[in-house]
Amino acid sequence: MADLLRLLLRVGEKAANVARLCRQEAPLFQLLVQEKTGEDKNKKFVQDFKTLADVVIQEMIRHDVRVQFPEMAGFIHGEESNMFENGLGESVTVTVCTTEEETAKLLATVLDGDQTAASLLARAIHQDPATIEVSTDSLTIPLKPSELGIWIDPIDATSQYIKGREEVLEEGRLFPSGLHCALVLIGVYLRSTGEPVMGVINQPFNNKDPADRGWRGKHYWGVSCGSINICSESRPRNRSEGQRGLSVVLSSSEKQAVKEALTLVCGPDKLIYASGAGHKILCVIQGLADAYVLSEGSTFKWDSCAPHALLRALGGGVVDLAMSLQQSDSGAQDPSTELTYHLPRTDRKGAERWANHGGLVAYRDNSQLRSIIGALKGKL
């Protein structure tokens, strides 16, 4: 299955190209940031070009995976639906066609005849990305495509993507918001158990090349399956918790009760607020925070699947917070509290069926997870 990993890295890079293009090219950028007034307000598709960018990326990933792994066809899920209504009230299904010309023609119908924007997008969709060098050659992953499913979040932290504030990232420092929070997330899970087994994260806006002022991306990947645990990121060294206190990253909208309870186990200034669900889990992967705690069901399977696989490869994971709080304090973490990705909630409708409804804790270290759960017990 190293073939699948290589394909996901390539298609993740293509997705990043589309994301960068939509901000670089004036005809696309205007659509992305356009304030809708008057008549335009009723035009659902233009109103929501950011959603079209998301849909285009998701369909491109779905298309490329299906071509190489037809066995996975019915199991490639994502955040977006591919149905769009154009300005004339016609429903258009956004798909990636066999040729660039056909794709451009189809996109033009969704974009109300905007040929320039449609051609630019179609070119990025059909262009081969730059080669990604990863040493996956000696990697044998004992998985069959017919056993796997995929979750895609084409762009996570869309609000940061639209705002577009630029940060100059520094190694070892967490930058809470900005363009770098926007991530392409592609996660692979086992259909039988729902375990996340492979993840690819592409960060389209990692750094700006001083030579041409163009954005360069960065990719991260991980495989966790049986005894195979490999990750592009190395396991950060854990300094003694007693000396420095835990650091936990939270959503700025997190409940006061959670913040207060965590203050007791975190060192001073160790509660950090950052944007993007995927970005917060990436911060834990990179060791920029020890854990990410979320008490609400405001993330979905497509937000957590890919980064969860990387955390597992590093010896950590992502647990359901509500479920973990109900466990007895017997010491070892119950593996059944880890989030799974194969079953929808039957008592909910639409996207809510796939919400991580119990909230979550993303962690690298089991004993740190236990401290956090201990601190939150009886407080929510």
Residues labelled as active-site residues = 54, 79, 153, 155-156, 158, 303
Per-residue x/- track, 253-292, ligand 2IP (CB under 6 A): x---------------------xxx---------------
320 binds Ca ion (CB under 5 A): no
Between 106 and 150, whose beta carbon lies closer to ligand 2IP?
A: 150
Instruction: Tell me the window of 66-74, 79-87, 107-115, 266-274 that interacts with Ca ion (CB under 5 A).
Output: 79-87
Q: Which of 195, 303, 338, 365 binds Ca ion (CB under 5 A)?
A: 303
Strands 291-294 and 360-363: antiparallel
Strands 196-208 and 183-190: antiparallel
Could you tell me the smallest distance in angstroms from the CB atom of residue 211 to ligand 2IP? 31
Return the half-sphere exposure (C-beta side, CA atoms, 13 A cut-off) of residue 168.
3
What does the alpha-carbon distance between residue 6 and residue 129 come to, in Å, rounded to a whole number?
12
Q: Which of 64, 156, 290, 320 binds Ca ion (CB under 5 A)?
A: 156
Cβ neighbours of residue 153 closer than 8 Å, sequence gap 6 or more: 78, 79, 183, 184, 185, 278, 300, 302, 303, 306
Give the distance from CA 56 to its chain's centroid.
16
303 binds ligand 2IP (CB under 6 A): yes
Between 207 and 298, whose beta carbon lies closer to Ca ion?
A: 298
Number of residues that bind Ca ion (CB under 5 A): 5
Cβ neighbours of residue 244 closer than 8 Å, sequence gap 6 or more: 267, 270
55 binds ligand 2IP (CB under 6 A): no
Q: Which of 125, 157, 249, 281 binds ligand 2IP (CB under 6 A)?
A: 157
β-partners of residue 320 are: 360
Q: Which of 58, 158, 295, 324 binds ligand 2IP (CB under 6 A)?
A: 158
Cβ neighbours of residue 256 closer than 8 Å, sequence gap 6 or more: none
Cβ neighbours of residue 221 closer than 8 Å, sequence gap 6 or more: 5, 8, 9, 134, 198, 199, 200, 201, 231, 232, 310
Enumerate binding residues for ligand 2IP (CB under 6 A): 153, 156-158, 251, 253, 275-277, 298-299, 303
Enumerate binding residues for Ca ion (CB under 5 A): 79, 153, 155-156, 303
